[in-house]
Structure formats: C-alpha cells, structure tokens
Amino acid sequence: MLITFTAVAAVFVLLIAERTLLYYARKRFSLVIHVNGTRGKSTVTRMIHALLRQQGMEVYGKTTGSAARFLLPDGTERPVRRFGPANVREQRNMMLLGAMSAKSQKAALVFESNVINEELQHISSRWLMPDVTIITNVREDHVLELGKAEQAAEIFASAVPGNSILVTSEKNFMAVWEAAAKQKSLKLMFVSPNEAEDAEFPENAACVLGVADHLGIDRSQALQAAIGHKPDIGAFAVYSWESGAVGEASRSIFFADARAANDIESTDRLLSSAFSTIELKTPAMRILLLVNREDRPDRSRDFLQYIVSRHKEASFDRYLCIGHAPLSFKKTIKAEGVNCRFLKHIKDLEDDLAKAAAQAVFIFAVGNFGGKGQLLSRWLEAKRQAVQ
C-alpha cells in the first residue's frame, strides 16, 4: 500500500513539474503557430518559418514530414532523432529545446502537428498553447483514426484552443470552421487558394497569406517567402536523367516523386502538375509505381482502387508495385486485367527500365516513404547525385 501511494505521489509530482516547465517554456515565445490538417503541413510550416525569418524574428520550427527536422533561426536545420515512431512527446521536447535556445523575449515557434489520434491532437495543442492554428486542408486519409473527411475536419477543429486564431484555405468545411469559431470565440481567417494562384501550391501559400494578414505583413512579402522557402525532404518533385548502356542510344527517364501525397485527391493533383512540368519530346512509356506498406492497409486499399481507375482510363502503360501486397490485392489486380508487376527488389525496377523499348520513360511514384520506400529513396538519391 505504501509503495502504491509513493508511486502515485511521484507521478503527481512529475506531472506538476512538467506542467510548470512547459508554462515557463511557453512564456519564452511571443508567437506560437500550430500547423494541422491532412496534406501540406511540412510545406506550410517551412513557408511560415521563412516568412517570420524574413521579418527578422528569432523563429524555431519543427516539421514531421518524411524526415523530421528542427528548423533554426539562421535557416539551418537539424534532424530530429527518433528511436521509434513519431510520438507526441516530441512536440514537448522540441518546444523545450527551442525555449532553452531562444535568445530574445520575442522568439517565435511554428510546429507541424505530428499526431493523428484525436486525444493526442488535444495534448499537442495543450502543450504548445498556440496563438494561431493552421488547418491546411481536409482529405480522406488515416480513416481508422480520423474517420471520413467530415469527421476529420471536426477533430481538427476541436483541437484548436479557445480565444485564438484559426487560419485555413479549406473551403469545403466552412460550416465546421464557423461553428468552432462561434463556440470557442475564435477569429476565423479564411483565404481562398485563388488569392495565391501564382504559387506552386496555392492552398499552402493561401495559409501563409492568412498568417501574414493576421500579423500585418504585406502579402507580396508573404508570397515571396512562400515561393522561396527551402522545401521539405520528400516534397513533390520531378527529376530526370539519361539512361542506357555504353554504345546504346540513351533513354530519357522522368521520375515524379509524389509519395508525400498519401491520399488519392492530392495524388491526382500532383499527377496533373507532373504532366504540366515535364515536356516529353518523344512518346514516353508511362509507369505508375506504387510503394505499399504492411502497416498502412487502408492506404493500400485506396491506391488499389486508384490503380484500377487509372487502368480503366488508360492513364498509364504499366503498373509496378513494391512492398507488401496481400493475396486479395493481387487477385483484384488480376481480375481487373491490370498490367502490373510485383517487384521484390529495386534491381527489378532497374531491369524494367533497361528493357523498356520507348525512348522516354515517365515514372509516377505514389504510396509511402516507409518500408521498401526507403530503398526507393536511396536509389533515387543515387540517380540524382549521378547527374549533378
């Protein structure tokens, strides 16, 4: 009984100490911005970090993305070391690190949300106590944790602290934002993506304009910061290189890496962007490359349907899949008559490219960075370095 009481007392003391420490850490920052939503969180975090640096602020940031980074006021960054999956305690620890590093009393903090679960979103928000919460957009992803898009929107809104600012460019759930604003006395700042149409990703840049409006920063300066920000590792990009054995005619390889978009709607947008980015001088073989993860069954099901729909529309000539592919996945692919090859190694991809008869090959990679996706990332980085 005495041991139990002592243990409970020790936990209570630790909780009080943590709360006190976080309280004083929070007082080191005159501005805290929490970036939430489905897609584009890392990009928006980096854009806001660039904007505040542009204004001469001492600003610290943290992205989750494909590789978590701690962003420093001088524009450099450090990797966030992890010994397991992303954890909400990372928010607390990085906030404390920023507070200990801050040199001025007007430092700023901009953090990407790194949690999905509704309860953990509330914990993250309670620790950070943000002045501004950004909801980038709402897409159907992580359905097991967040439900359908409407439920996800309500969860995002519920985590916004009262008497603060909510910035968003997501117009499809205005009723949810307005209800939250009324209930929590929030100042709702909606900026349409149309107001940032010159940017590469208008809905992300529109969120930056919303923050700029709140802080009284000129919009042209905000767009400049948004366009000139340092992109996140794994952000959507299109690469190209020449391939072919010695003595053979070279073959142009175009690789559009869209794995950061884990939902179908975002993936479709990036496909359109990829086609508008590259200029194929010769007819190209079009390949969709899916990276599956065993621990993302809902995402695998979504992309299975995406492959089927793209096959029916003849969007691609071939389909490749690397990573976990259960029997049901393979049966559906076969039943739909999809020309799909299941790869075991990256070398299999190299073999496919070597056998391609076309003078140009366009590869559109989707799905995941984790699992076999890490091997693909290393292969792609080697190709990029070879042509630099």
* Pairing outcome for strands 187-190 and 165-168: parallel
Q: Pick from 347, 296, 294, 298: which is nearest to 325 by CA?
A: 294
What letter would DSSP give residue 250?
P
The pLDDT value given to residue 328:
92
Question: Between the CA of residue 21 and those of 16, 95, 96, 118, what are the distances in Å?
Answer: 9, 11, 8, 24
The pLDDT value given to residue 35:
97
Residues 6 or more apart from 140 whose CB is under 8 A from it? Answer: 148, 149, 152, 263, 264, 265
Contact predicate 75/230, CB 8 Å: yes
Quick check: 50 pLDDT over 50? Answer: yes
Quick check: 206 pLDDT over 70? Answer: yes
> Which comes out higher in pLDDT, residue 322 or 358?
322
CA distance linking residue 171 with residue 195, whole number of Å? 13
SS3 (DSSP) at 379: helix
Mean of the per-residue pLDDT values for the chain? Answer: 87
CA distance linking residue 353 with residue 360, whole number of Å? 10
> Which comes out higher in pLDDT, residue 16 or 364?
364
The pLDDT value given to residue 249:
63
Residues 7-43 have pLDDT tens digits of: 555 555 555 666 778 788 889 999 999 999 998 899 9
Kind plus residue range of the DSSP H or E element containing 22: helix 2-26
Q: Contacts by 119-124 with C-beta closer than 8 Å and gap 24+?
A: 120/88, 121/36, 121/155, 121/156, 121/158, 121/159, 122/158, 122/159, 123/88, 124/34, 124/88, 124/91, 124/159
Strand partners, 109: 32, 60
The pLDDT value given to residue 187:
97
- For the chain, report the end-to-end CA distance as a whole number of angstroms: 68
The answer to whether domain 21-228 and domain 237-387 are alike in fold is no
Residues 100-128 have pLDDT tens digits of: 999 987 899 999 998 888 899 999 899 99
Candidate from 40-49, 179-188, 376-385 with smallest mean pLDDT: 376-385
CA distance linking residue 3 with residue 5, whole number of Å? 5
Quick check: 144 pLDDT over 70? Answer: no
Phi, psi (degrees; rounded to nearest 5) at 276: -80, -20
* Pairing outcome for strands 69-71 and 77-79: antiparallel
The pLDDT value given to residue 246:
45
Over range 358-382, report the average pLDDT. 88
Residues 210-259 have pLDDT tens digits of: 999 999 999 999 999 888 888 887 778 888 888 765 445 678 889 999 98
CATH number of 21-228: 3.40.1190.10
Each domain of the chain, given as residue ranges in start order, spans: 21-228, 237-387
What confidence tier does 369 reach under pLDDT thresholds 50, 70, 90?
Answer: confident
What letter would DSSP give residue 194?
G
Residues 6 or more apart from 239 whose CB is under 8 A from it? Answer: 254, 255, 257, 380, 383, 384
The pLDDT value given to residue 163:
96
Give this prediction's pTM.
0.78
Render 96-147 in DSSP notation, one character per residue. Answer: HHHHHH--STTEEEEEE----SHHHHHHHHHHH--SEEEE----S--HHHH-
The pLDDT value given to residue 251:
80
Quick check: 191 pLDDT over 90? Answer: yes
Residues 293-325 have pLDDT tens digits of: 888 888 888 899 999 999 999 889 999 999 998
Residues 6 or more apart from 190 whose CB is under 8 A from it? Answer: 167, 168, 169, 171, 174, 177, 210
What CATH architecture does domain 237-387 belong to?
A: Alpha-Beta Complex (3.90)
- CB burial string 308-336: b at 16+ within 10 A, e below: bebbeeebbebbbbbbbbeeebeebbeee
The pLDDT value given to residue 115:
86
CA distance linking residue 188 with residue 164, whole number of Å? 9
